[in-house]
Amino acid sequence: MSRPHAPPLRGTLPADVVSLVDHEALAATLMSPEVSAYVNGGAADEITLRENLLAWQSLRLRSRVLRPLAGGHTRVELLGQTLAHPILVAPMAHQRLLHPHGEQASALAAAMQGAGYVLSAQANTALETVARLVLPQVERGPLWFQLYLQPDRAFNLELVQRVEAAGFEALVLTVDAPVSGPRDRERRAGFGLPAGLSAVNLANAPAREVPPLAEGQSGLFDDLLTHAPTWADIAWLREHTRLPILLKGITHPDDARLAIQHGAAGIIVSNHGGRTLDTLPATAQLLPAVVDAVQGAVPVLVDGGIRRGTDVLKAMALGASAVLVGRPVLHGLANAGAVGVAHVLRLLRDELEMAMALCGCASLARNASDSAAHPIAQDAPIGVHEILK
């Protein structure tokens, strides 16, 4: 297996990088084949991975003309905070694969662009280091920590206490990956973490004892999944933290309702970027039913396949409170470190503003008295979604 390596360092971008697609193309020339497979690959045949993008592209926006747009803005309210725009950086592991500064570069870039940032539990940077870097930034967005519950509750509690003490403002609990999906592209490329790269915030997690299996038992169902989180663990976590908890990986309306019953402060509609169960529907298709089930009780965010400002606007028109962006941030990080990530986020925000203006939409607020000021997305295969009545 050849060793994955970080791309050559650069602090500027070529002039012809003007979209997230351009960032992806440039990153492909800089990443090793192994790292490219890890970043860009999905589960199995990658059907969900592809459809995440296609679903947003298949939606159409309706526009209104000659509407007053002076003073328009992209601000949104989320968990008691006012955000400059509804774009957050999704949690992504092992960012030092892309750049030596890893999460420090992407977190600082997000803060400088007013974007929320979700630090992965599998980051290569100590959570305290990221918090010290981000929290003093005046124009920053919210700073959240993504958590995979470990089998040892004492370790989970210790980690949550570190997160609280560092100043993070919410927990994002990933609930859709009790096991990893079959990452065929990664395996073909021979991907593996290079020596010296690890999930430093999980370094003290107790090693799990693996008992011998009896004849006929499954290593998955009779061992690994005996430690998988359940709704009871969500209730336990709610009792042991003062931070709001968002559940990431909700795709079914019934699970959305259960999440609220168990104290979730927010829901993230996600299929893990097409990296777990292949042939799950695209998140753009899943979002409306979850929004309908929640009935405004908690904010609903969405990720997966966001590549244009028009995608952000479509998500908002379908009822999302905000969106999270993943792979494009890694592409920007590979291309130019913090500069590249900042450019990716700025492109999305600029495109969102232009799309709003061209749709006759001066605000993303959902309580405007004149619903005609908002775009209504439609998709012939799944009908017209008139979200704003």
Residue 16 marked ligand-binding: no
Query: How far, rounded to the nearest angstrom, does the alpha carbon of residue 20 sit from its chain's CA centroid?
Result: 16
Q: Between vectors from CA 369 to CA 365 and to CA 372, what angle results, nearest 5°?
A: 80
User: How far is Cα 353 from Cα 309, in angstroms, rounded to an integer?
Assistant: 8
Residue 248 marked ligand-binding: yes
Residue 183 marked ligand-binding: yes
User: How far is Cα 40 from Cα 330, in angstroms, rounded to an integer?
Assistant: 10
- Which residue(s) pair with 147 in the sheet? 173
Residue 117 marked ligand-binding: no
Residue 275 marked ligand-binding: yes
Q: Which of 305, 300, 374, 382 is nearest to 57 (CA)?
A: 305
From its phi and psi, is residue 44 left (phi > 0), alpha (psi between -120 and 50) or beta? left
Residue 349 marked ligand-binding: no
Residue 304 marked ligand-binding: yes
- Kindly give, in sequence order, each residue whose CB lies less than 8 Å from that of residue 74, ignoring residues fewer than 6 positions away: 84, 85, 86, 349, 352, 353, 356, 364
Residue 93 marked ligand-binding: yes
Residue 305 marked ligand-binding: yes
R_g of the chain, CA atoms, integer Å: 20
Is 272 in the active site?
yes
Residue 120 marked ligand-binding: yes
Residue 185 marked ligand-binding: no
Amino acid found at 295:
Q
Residue 92 marked ligand-binding: yes
- Kindly give, in sequence order, each residue whose CB lies less than 8 Å from that of residue 164, ignoring residues fewer than 6 positions away: 241, 242, 243
User: How far is Cα 31 from Cα 99, in angstroms, rounded to an integer?
Assistant: 10
Residue 58 marked ligand-binding: no
Find the length of the chain. 389
Residue 38 marked ligand-binding: yes
Residue 307 marked ligand-binding: yes
Residue 174 marked ligand-binding: yes
Q: Between vectors from CA 180 to CA 123 and to CA 121, what angle results, nearest 5°?
A: 20
188-to-33, 258, 278 alpha-carbon distances in Å: 10, 39, 17
278-to-67, 187, 200, 282, 303 alpha-carbon distances in Å: 43, 16, 29, 10, 16
Residue 84 marked ligand-binding: no
Of 85, 94, 101, 272, catalytic = 272
Give the three-state DSSP class for 146: strand
Give the three-state DSSP class for 108: helix
Residue 260 marked ligand-binding: no
Residue reference for tokens 């396949």: 305
User: How far is Cα 307 from Cα 309, in angstroms, rounded to an integer?
Assistant: 7
Q: Which residues are annotated as a binding site for FMN?
A: 91-93, 120, 146, 174, 248, 270, 303-307, 326-327
Q: Which residues are annotated as a binding site for glyoxylate?
A: 38, 148, 183, 272, 275
Q: Which residues are annotated as a binding site?
A: 38, 91-93, 120, 146, 148, 174, 183, 248, 270, 272, 275, 303-307, 326-327
Q: Which residues are catalytic?
A: 272
